[in-house]
Amino acid sequence: MKLSLQITSRNFELTDAIKAEITEKAEKLGNFFDQILKCRVVVESPHRHSRDGRLYNVNIDLKIPGSEIVVKREPNEDLYVAIRDSFSAAKRRLEEYVEHLRREVKFHEGTPEGKITALFADKGYGFVTKPDGGEVFFHQNSVLNREFGKLKVGMKVRFAEEMGAKGPQASSLKVFGD
């Protein structure tokens, strides 16, 4: 998907080199996260004071499905540094967003394992049998990375177990083998 990029300047003209720098950094964001719908970059140079040199603000507004990321950094005297810092902050914010989307849970040694022994895909739940024979309920919302539709009976899984209203249940479940 081609990134929709809008570059605007206020109180001064952008050179082709500056536009190219912004375009390159925006494309890198698009390569990192291909779900960016629109990237708007506003570069401004507020009226300067007699004592201070010219300062540059670089603000970035990313439209992504279901959300928006807005980056406003401290002004800098070096326009290239202001661009770099703003795009670095935007990448960090995107990384946080992606991490949130993935809802990755780090599984450690000793994490319960089992096999899916019953799956009711049309009703959105199933059961895992542990090596000791115990059975654990799981709901489609507890399957990480939105992979409920890919589950099959017999798949090996790891899960975080907790006590539910009707017995043991998995609060997060991840496939780790066939």
Q: State the DSSP string of 110-150.
A: T--EEEEEEEETTTTEEEEE-TTS-EEEEEGGGBGGG-GGG
Q: What are the residue boundaries of the structural domains of the chain, listed by start?
A: 5-102, 113-177
What homologous superfamily is domain 5-102 in, according to CATH?
Ribosome hibernation promotion factor-like (3.30.160.100)
Residue type, 82: A
* CA distances (Å), origin 152, targets 31, 66, 111: 32, 30, 21
The answer for residues whose C-beta is within 8 angstroms of residue 34's C-beta and 6 or more apart is: 1
Domain 113-177 -> CATH class? mainly beta
Q: How far apart, in whole angstroms, are the C-alpha atoms of residue 74 and residue 76? A: 7
110, exposed or middle or buried, with CB in 10 Å at 0-12, 13-18, 19+? exposed
Per-residue pLDDT of the chain (178 residues; tens, 9 = 90+): 467 999 999 988 999 999 999 999 999 998 888 889 999 999 999 766 555 678 999 999 999 887 899 999 889 999 999 999 999 999 999 988 887 766 654 555 567 889 999 999 999 999 999 988 889 999 998 888 778 888 999 999 988 888 877 888 988 888 876 5
This prediction has a pTM of 0.57
